[in-house]
Amino acid sequence: MQKMPGTEGNRDVSAQQTIHVAGEWLSAASGATREIIDPADAKPFAIIAEGGTEDADAAIAAARKAFDEGPWPSTPVAERAALLRKVADLLVRDREEIGLLESRDAGKTLEEGRVDVDCVADAFRYFADLVIGEGAGRVVDAGSDDIHSVVVHEPIGVCSMITPWNYPLLQASWKIAPALAAGNTFVIKPSEITPLTTVALIELLVEAGLPAGVANIVTGPGHTVGARLADHPDVDLVSFTGGLVSGTKVAQAAAVGVKKVALELGGKNPNVVFADACATDEGFDTAVDQALNAAFIHSGQVCSAGGRLIIEESVRERFVAELARRAEKIKLGRGTEDGVECGPLVSQQQREKTEMYVASALEEGAVLRCGGKRPEPSDVRPATGYFYEPTVLDQCHRGMKVVREEVFGPVLSVETFRTEDEAVALANDTEYGLAGAVWTTDSGRARRMARRMRHGTIWINDFHPYLPQAEWGGFGKSGVGRELGPAGLAEYREAKHVYENLAPRPVRWFAG
């Protein structure tokens, strides 16, 4: 097994001790293990502990004890913020190692892995700054000098975190950083497909000095570990990022105990391009380039991927022809190889799912402009890897499965519109509402579109950037709650109203 960052002198990785409970690295109680597969060649390159319900129970008990009896919830805010900043510094120190691990684990390019590490460090610094900049509470005017009334915020308690396979390190940080800033303890279950960088992050938390029991991780499958994290009575909050079906099950399990729930369930995101955005050669080039980025970064395995190109009819043919021409030139291969622009899909199952969506689209009348098949092997693209060509499907419509459902693969569907109202209707014609973009040189139109589009993030003349200072989440079936920004911290807190009467006296409501 490849040695993971931060393990030197800490534990024997070859023993598959990837479960961390109450400050100790452990194997699974059952002794079970799982091979981690490199999606570029379908070969195992690591072995982890395959935890189960018993391991989840032990981790939750440790987190419960650390919250109820440990020092972290009452640790001064300045000290909590200092620890978060130290973690950010450690991430910078280990950027190359962790970026490489993310690349091999998830199949993305090495540069994407490095950028992810940078973004995670930014998130830890942001929440450190946010929590340290807060006052002692919000004073409420009770209308009398004899009353002191204030609303304070306290940690919610034990948090269960369940994260997806596409951005394992980033999604873990969006939960861990605010949870720790607020003073909570937690148990995290990364995807069993891509758990390695989350394990590495827990190691950095330990190195930074986080007290035992505050951060716990159980590597294992969703149907056992994930289910237990959702329904355990000692858990106060469940934060889940993943698919709609699994998220619905998590919400149902958490509802029995009336737990607080945060869900980020993906999207079917429109990229709306008006003709005026393509009126100049520079504008046209930029819009096409960004449409490629929107759809094909990380092989489309992005919850906010712009997989629906909605383009004004008058420029459709020119735009789609150039888009397909450039998509055919995207260099596929192992993410660690120089010059590779796009890696494999994460698993054979994900590639087969992508193939199913393309086949259904063609059966329903879509026109294949490029891609639609597995590429030929090459020196950077092993025959056994889970590669699939970037695919552009023209002449699509709302009735198609590929337009309605989240593909999570390198597939772009093309729809057209003639009027602004039609563009809005198409952009909002989805059960999801995570993100969307509009391309236009008309600032008035841009603001109207941003106001009318029912999605949690709207980009104008851009696609994909996010800021840790700005909330992330969606409308409709894209989820419940928000990550990042002040609202992302609020998810991990309870508001408490403290009302103090400075001059108590009898009320005399009752005559006796």
Q: Coil, strand, or helix at residue 312?
A: strand
CB 156 within 8 A of CB 182: yes
Q: Which of the following is catalytic: 192, 203, 264, 483? A: 264
Helix or strand run (H / E) with residue 326: helix 316-328
Instruction: Give the angle subtended at the CA of 108 by the CAs of 104 and 114, to the nearest 5°.
Output: 85
- Residue 340 CA to residue 108 CA, distance in Å, equals 10
Strands 185-189 and 158-162: parallel
8 Å CB contact between 90 and 201: no
Number of separate helices (H) and strands (E) present in the chain: 15, 20
Residue 261's alpha-carbon distances to 229, 433, 483, in angstroms, are 12, 18, 12
User: How far apart (Å, rounded) are the C-alpha atoms in residues 210 and 180?
Assistant: 9
**Measured between alpha carbons, how far is 123 from 411 in angstroms, rounded to an integer?**
30
Q: How far apart are CA 4 and CA 232, in angstroms?
A: 31
Cα→Cα distances 324→127, 357, 367, Å: 41, 18, 12
Q: What is the DSSP string of 37-48?
A: EETTTTEEEEEE
List Cβ neighbours of 37 (8 Å cut-off, separation of 6 or more): 43, 44, 45, 193, 347
d(CA 279, CA 284): 7
Q: Would you mind telling me the total number of residues written for the chain in this entry?
A: 512
Active-site pick, 159, 278, 303, 370: 303
Query: In this structure, what token pair is assigned to residue 252?
Result: 């149902």
Query: How many Å apart are CA 375 and CA 372, to the nearest integer?
Result: 9
Q: Is 317 a catalytic residue?
A: no
Say which residues have a Cβ less than 8 Å from residue 326's Cβ, sequence separation at least 6: 288, 289, 292
The reply to whether 264 belongs to the active site is yes
Contact 189, 214 (CB under 8 A): no
Which active-site residues does the annotation give?
264, 303
